[in-house]
Amino acid sequence: MRTNQVTAYKPSFIKSIFAITRKDISAEMRSRELLSSMLVFSMLVVLIYYFALELDIKAREAITAGALWVTFSFAGTLGLNRSMAVEKDRGCLDGLLLAPVDRSAIYFGKMISNLVFMFIVEAIVIPLYAIMYNVNLLVPGFLWITVLGSIGYVAVGTLLSAMTVQTRTRDVLLPILLFPLVIPVLIAAVKASSGFIQGLPMEEILPWMNLLIVYDVVFTAGSYMVFDNIVEE
């Protein structure tokens, strides 16, 4: 509704994105329920790998990238579910939708905060894994791949979690919807990062990196375009 007398205050797009991100992060810093569950879960998974896969010194080099990405994607669904469920349960989503900001600002805001949580978990799990299994993971290329992979994962995950939170089956549904769609990310990220860990030549890693970048761009743009359809009331 537009009237001539009242000019509504409308913050800029970038400003509203960061306002939403800041809200999420400061709420998380106070409750710490999302990060702590993601972290404890990841550590448990890393421990379980030792017993389940008998990661001896030879198997480690080949399997490390895969093991880490499985950990990230499982822990990621925990975080994504939680971050949207909080919005829905306490009616915050309706509040956000009432705010005079572009709907897609909500998407990007949530996406960036989910990404930050993802990075924090990765920043703790990767060194921990490196110490426990004695693999050198402090390779710049490997860290870049982790960043690129997380962006693609979170881009789709944020959109889908906004969707599943409104369904009857909720938390159960998110991994089922998410995993078949992020398979290109998982394949490319695992291949590229194990390439870096094993020190393969760059021309063998480059196609996977390109694929990751293409996926990130396509799915961020795609999710941005359809997000309005998800939160329509």
Partner 1 sequence: MSKTPKLLMVLNVLSLILVLVGYYLALFYAPTEKVMGDVQRVFYFHVATAWVGMVGFILAAVFSAIYLIKKDMKWDMLGLASVEISLVFFFITIVLGSIWARPAWGTWWTWEPRLTTAAILEMIYLAYLLLRQGIEDPEQRARFGAVYTLLGGLSVPMTLLSIRLFRTIHPVVIGGGGSETMGMTDSMLFVMFYSIIAFTVLFVTLFWHRIRLGIYQEKVERLKSEIYN
**Does 229 help bind partner 1 (rule: CB under 8 A)?**
yes
Torsion over CA: 91, 93, 96, 98 (sign): negative
**Does 232 help bind partner 1 (rule: CB under 8 A)?**
yes
Which range touches partner 1 (CB under 8 A), out of 25-33, 42-50, 126-134, 173-181?
A: 173-181
**Does 187 help bind partner 1 (rule: CB under 8 A)?**
yes
3-state secondary structure the chain: CCCCCCCCCCCCHHHHHHHHHHHHHHHHHHHCHHHHHHHHHHHHHHHHHHHHHCCCHHHHHHHHHHHHHHHHHHHHHHHHHHHHHHHHHCCHHHHHHHCCCCHHHHHHHHHHHHHHHHHHHHHHHHHHHHHHHCCCCCCHHHHHHHHHHHHHHHHHHHHHHHHHCCCCCHHHHHHHHHHHHHHHHHHHHHHHHHHHHCCCCHHHHHHHHHHHHHHHHHHHHHHHHHHHHHHCC
Q: Which of 144, 177, 213, 224 binds partner 1 (CB under 8 A)?
A: 177
**Does 151 help bind partner 1 (rule: CB under 8 A)?**
no
Instruction: State which residue, 116 or 187, has the beta carbon closest to partner 1.
Output: 187
**Does 222 help bind partner 1 (rule: CB under 8 A)?**
yes
Shortest distance (Å) from residue 75 CB to partner 1: 20
Burial of 7 (0-12, 13-18, 19+ CB in 10 A): exposed
**Does 93 help bind partner 1 (rule: CB under 8 A)?**
no
Q: Which of 96, 135, 159, 197 binds partner 1 (CB under 8 A)?
A: 159
**Does 99 help bind partner 1 (rule: CB under 8 A)?**
no
The rounded distance, in Å, linking the Cα atoms of 229 and 233 is 9
**Does 167 help bind partner 1 (rule: CB under 8 A)?**
yes
**Does 166 help bind partner 1 (rule: CB under 8 A)?**
yes
**Does 69 help bind partner 1 (rule: CB under 8 A)?**
no
Which range touches partner 1 (CB under 8 A), out of 6-14, 45-53, 58-66, 204-212?
A: 204-212
**Does 183 help bind partner 1 (rule: CB under 8 A)?**
yes
**Does 200 help bind partner 1 (rule: CB under 8 A)?**
no
Contacts with partner 1, residue ranges (CB under 8 A): 156, 159-160, 163-164, 166-170, 173, 176-177, 179-184, 187-188, 191, 207-208, 211, 214-215, 218-219, 222-223, 226, 229-230, 232
